[in-house]
Amino acid sequence: MPGTSVLDDIELIIEDVSGGGRPPAGRDGGDSGGGGSRVPGGRSSARKYAIAISAAMVAILMFFMAMVAAFLVLRHSSPRWAAFQLPVLLWFNTAILLASSATLEVARKRQAAFDDKGFKRFWTVTTVLGVVFVVGQVVAWRELVAQGIHGSASLAVAFFYVFTVAHAVHLFGGICALLYVGLRKFRRSEMTRVAAAEVASYYWHFMDGLWVFLFVLLYFGK
């Protein structure tokens, strides 16, 4: 049955997609080896990351929505639900995070206008604001713990901790992305800094929106 046939000898029509600036096949070097694009040229690799981050955001949204569903169900059914006062600091943190989204957009505007210095400045401001937010959250947790409000006390408190910690962990990923875009020199990369900044901005705004949603939920739902 098996034997060589005419069909085996017909070569695949190979399209060369290596383009000009593609780095030599760095298979072991992390994300840089994934060429093979449908659209020859540089555009598709940015699209690849945009799709990846969108899919990741769907997964993250599912993660939080599952917890929100549990929150909404248990709020009415659990006998261990005792309301508590949210730390006032959260309002400040929310303002910081919203401001960071704004500065991020300003940075991208500067970048589009080829003002590299302005981009760098506002990008750094965004990163710092992100760090301030996380630090603010940590302070808020310590405040609560100092008041003797622990997760084991009431489900409302437990949900507060779980939501804020989970969000902070995800936001920390965002800070890493900001640092990566800000510090890396995109010279030999298959992606431009503009594209990388765009992908990072999707995630950052998503984290911002998610926080506002969670804050509203905790504020009215506690």
For binding to other proteins (CB under 8 A), which residues are involved? 1-8, 10, 12-18, 25, 27-28, 30-31, 33-38, 44, 47-48, 51-52, 55-56, 58-60, 62-64, 66-67, 69-70, 73-74, 77-80, 150-152, 155, 158, 161-162, 166
Q: List the one residue out of 216, 124, 137 whose CA is nearest residue 170.
A: 137
User: Given the complex with other proteins, which of 45 and 111 has the nearer CB atom?
Assistant: 45
Cβ at position 108, least distance to other proteins in Å? 23
User: Given the complex with other proteins, which of 112 and 153 has the nearer CB atom?
Assistant: 153
Cβ at position 199, least distance to other proteins in Å? 12
Q: List the one residue out of 103, 113, 101 whose CA is nearest residue 194.
A: 113
Map residue 216 onto helix, strand or coil: helix
Cβ at position 153, least distance to other proteins in Å? 9
User: Given the complex with other proteins, which of 46 and 194 has the nearer CB atom?
Assistant: 46
**How deeply is 45 buried, as exposed, middle or buried, from its count of CB atoms within 10 A (0-12, 13-18, 19+)?**
buried
Distance CA 160, CA 124 (A): 30
Cβ at position 187, least distance to other proteins in Å? 20
Asked whether the beta carbons of 157 and 84 are under 8 A apart, the reply is: yes
User: Given the complex with other proteins, which of 12 and 88 has the nearer CB atom?
Assistant: 12
Distance CA 81, CA 155 (A): 5
Length in residues, the chain: 222
Rg (CA), the chain: 23
What would the 3-class secondary structure string for 159-194 be?
A: HHHHHHHHHHHHHHHHHHHHHHHHHCCCCCCCCCHH
Asked whether the beta carbons of 111 and 197 are under 8 A apart, the reply is: yes
Cβ at position 120, least distance to other proteins in Å? 27
Cβ at position 30, least distance to other proteins in Å? 4
User: Given the complex with other proteins, which of 47 and 205 has the nearer CB atom?
Assistant: 47
User: Given the complex with other proteins, which of 1 and 88 has the nearer CB atom?
Assistant: 1
